[in-house]
Each structure stands twice: as structure tokens, then as C-alpha cells.
């Protein structure tokens, strides 16, 4: 293989774009150090504004990477032991995890989908699923649906920016900014709702109703001593 061919293969968008999409989303789903939504949005913008990437393949890779990352995180929460669970739960509020656990008991797979779509909702949901030993046969399809909806939502932001701007660089930048802006707004809304829920006063059910006095039982016709007769 000549040097020119090798160089062209590494500068081609499809050669580096697909591994970046899959690897970036997978890494960010296991270790949240990569803005995974921005990766998907930027790749979708490039796919829309150029011929270097295929939008459908970007969506498939992002879905599989997000799903794999969620399954790995769930497995760590369920089988990793206390130290691994503490590592996953770092930076999470205990009251938030307890709240999600109670919701999880009632809604199950719907919480898995909602937790993937909402910023900062994925880790508490997976922690609750692991603690409650949620069955694999239910977790796998629910997390796959959640990953597909998540990837589609962020890819849509990239498609919008890629369709508006002809420059791939500008489309990628706008898509990244849109993803970060949407995430910030959703975070603020979720934090405001949690603060409002904590400030709500407890429901006053009033004092307990007074109990009716217990009527004494009527005395028998004759006491045991009378029935027995004289000694």
C-alpha cells in the first residue's frame, strides 16, 4: 500500500467518522467524559452536508454503542459489588437515586426509556435497575428502544443544522451547540422540578377520626359463683 493511499484512507471522513461515532458514544456511555449527544449530532450534520458519512449508518452505530454502554453499566451496577456501584454513582445525589428507585418499582421499562432521553437520568435509572435486580429479558429490549430514540433525537438536531448550513464545519459546530443547549435546558428544567417537589408541603390528612367508645359487654345471667350454688 502506497503512502498516498494510506494517507487518503485516514483523511477520508468515512474511515475516521464511523469509529469516532461508535467509540465516542460507547466511551461516554460507560465513563461520562464525552458529550455523546454532541458526537451523534456532529456526525449527523456531516452526513447531511457531505457525502462522507451515511446518516442511517451513523444512527445504527450510535444506537448500538449507546445500548452496549448502558448494558455494561447495568452489569456493573448489578454484579460489580459495592466498590463498583460507588464508582458508577459518584457525583449522584442519594435522594435522586432513592426517588428513581421508587419510580422504577411502579413503571419499570418506561423509566429506562425516560432515563436515557433525559440528561443526568441514565445513571440513577441504571443504578436502581441493578439494585432491584431488574431481569435481563426486560432490560435489553427497553434499553435498546431507549438508545434508538436517543440517537434519533440527537441525530435530528444534526440533520437540521446540516440542512441549513452548506459548510460541514459550520454545520458540525451548530449541531454541537444545539445539542449542548438542549441538554442544558433540560437539566435546568429537571433541577427546577426536583426543587419544587422537595418544597411541596406534606399532605395534611387531618387528625385521626375519634374512635367510638366500646360498649361493655352485658353481664351473663348469673356469675360462675351463683351458678355453682353454695359450697
Burial of 50 (0-12, 13-18, 19+ CB in 10 A): middle
Q: What is the pTM of this model?
A: 0.69
Q: Which of the pair, 199 or 2, is modelled with greater confidence?
A: 199
Confidence of residue 25 (pLDDT cuts 50, 70, 90): very high
Section 66-71 average pLDDT: 95
Residue 49 dihedral angles phi and psi, to the nearest 5°: -90, -10
Confidence of residue 192 (pLDDT cuts 50, 70, 90): low
Q: Which of the pair, 171 or 151, is modelled with greater confidence?
A: 151
Section 25-50 average pLDDT: 87
C-alpha cell at 13: 471522513
Section 140-162 average pLDDT: 88
Contact 109, 138 (CB under 8 A): yes
pLDDT > 70: percent of the chain = 61
> Any alpha helices (H) in 200-218, and if so which ranges?
none
Q: Which of the pair, 21 or 133, is modelled with greater confidence?
A: 21
Section 81-86 average pLDDT: 83
- Give the model confidence (pLDDT) of 101-149 as tens digits: 777 777 778 888 888 888 777 888 888 888 888 889 989 999 999 999 9
> Any alpha helices (H) in 50-135, and if so which ranges?
55-79, 81-88, 94-107, 109-117, 122-131
* CA neighbor of 164 nearest in space, from 178, 150, 152: 178
Q: What is the pLDDT of residue 51?
A: 78
Confidence of residue 204 (pLDDT cuts 50, 70, 90): very low
What secondary structure does DSSP assign to 141-186, as a single string? HHHHHHHHHHHHHHHHHHHHHHHH-S-HHHHHHHHHHHHHHHHHHH
Amino acid at each position: 500500500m502506497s503512502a498516498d493511499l494510506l494517507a487518503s484512507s485516514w483523511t477520508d471522513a468515512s474511515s475516521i467518522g464511523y469509529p469516532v461515532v461508535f467509540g465516542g458514544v460507547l466511551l461516554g456511555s460507560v465513563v461520562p467524559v464525552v458529550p455523546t449527544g454532541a458526537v451523534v449530532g456532529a456526525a449527523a450534520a456531516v452526513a447531511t452536508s457531505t457525502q462522507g458519512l451515511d446518516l442511517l449508518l451513523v444512527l445504527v452505530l450510535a444506537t448500538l454503542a449507546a445500548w452496549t454502554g448502558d448494558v455494561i453499566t447495568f452489569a456493573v451496577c448489578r454484579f460489580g459489588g459495592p466498590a463498583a456501584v460507588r464508582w458508577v454513582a459518584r457525583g449522584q445525589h442519594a435522594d435522586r437515586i432513592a426517588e428513581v428507585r421508587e419510580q422504577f418499582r411502579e413503571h419499570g421499562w418506561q423509566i429506562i426509556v425516560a432515563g436515557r432521553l433525559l440528561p443526568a437520568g441514565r445513571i440513577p435509572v441504571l443504578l436502581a435497575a441493578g439494585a432491584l435486580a431488574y431481569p435481563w429479558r426486560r432490560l435489553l429490549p427497553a434499553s435498546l428502544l431507549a438508545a434508538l430514540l436517543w440517537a434519533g433525537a440527537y441525530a435530528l438536531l444534526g440533520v437540521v443544522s446540516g440542512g441549513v448550513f452548506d459548510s460541514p464545519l459550520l454545520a458540525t459546530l451548530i449541531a454541537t451547540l444545539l445539542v449542548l443547549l438542549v441538554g442544558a435546558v433540560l437539566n435546568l428544567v429537571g433541577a427546577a422540578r426536583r426543587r419544587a417537589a422537595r418544597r411541596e408541603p406534606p399532605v395534611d390528612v387531618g387528625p385521626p377520626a375519634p374512635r367510638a367508645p366500646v360498649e361493655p359487654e352485658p353481664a351473663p345471667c348469673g356469675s360462675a359463683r351463683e351458678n355453682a350454688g353454695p359450697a
